[in-house]
Amino acid sequence: MRIFSGIQPTGAKHFGNYSGAFRQFVPIQEEGEAFFCIVDLHSITTAFEPEELRESSLDLAAMLFAVGLDPDRSTIFVQSHVTAHPEAAWLLSSIASYGQLGRMTQFKDKGERQEFISAGLFTYPVLMASDILLYQTDVVPIGDDQKQHLELARDLAERFNSRYGETFKVPEGRFPPTGGRIMDLQEPERKMSTTDGQPQGTVLITDPPETIRKKVKSAVTDSGSDVRYEPEQKPGISNLLEIMSVATGEPIPQLEARYDSGGYGQFKSDVAEALVTLLDPIRMRYEELRADESELRAVLARGAAKARETAAPTLEQMYERMGFVRP
Residues in contact with ligand TYM by CB under 6 A are: 4-8, 16-17, 19-21, 39, 42, 128, 131-132, 140, 142-143, 145-146, 149, 180-182, 191-193
Shortest Å distance, C-beta 205 to ligand TYM = 11
Shortest Å distance, C-beta 110 to ligand TYM = 10
| Pairwise CA distance, residues 261 & 267, whole Å | 10
Shortest Å distance, C-beta 225 to ligand TYM = 26
Shortest Å distance, C-beta 43 to ligand TYM = 8
Shortest Å distance, C-beta 143 to ligand TYM = 2
Long-range contacts for 204-207 (Cβ within 8 Å, ≥24 apart)? 204/12, 204/13, 204/14, 204/15, 205/12, 205/13, 205/14, 205/15, 205/17, 205/18, 205/63, 205/67, 205/279, 205/282, 205/283, 205/286, 206/12, 206/13, 206/279, 206/283, 206/286, 207/279, 207/283
The smaller minimum CB distance to ligand TYM, of residues 78 and 265, is found at: 78
The smaller minimum CB distance to ligand TYM, of residues 118 and 225, is found at: 118
3-state SS string over 216-244?
HHCCCCCCCCCCCCCCCCCHHHHHHHHHH
Which single residue brings its beta carbon nearest to ligand TYM?
20
The smaller minimum CB distance to ligand TYM, of residues 140 and 318, is found at: 140
CB 43, CB 12: distance < 8 Å: no
The smaller minimum CB distance to ligand TYM, of residues 149 and 290, is found at: 149
Shortest Å distance, C-beta 21 to ligand TYM = 4
Shortest Å distance, C-beta 192 to ligand TYM = 4
As a whole number of angstroms, the longest Cα–Cα distance in the chain is 71
The smaller minimum CB distance to ligand TYM, of residues 5 and 206, is found at: 5
104: left (phi over 0), alpha (psi -120 to 50) or beta: beta
The smaller minimum CB distance to ligand TYM, of residues 146 and 238, is found at: 146
The smaller minimum CB distance to ligand TYM, of residues 74 and 261, is found at: 74
Residue 226: count other Cβ atoms within 10 Å of its Cβ. 15
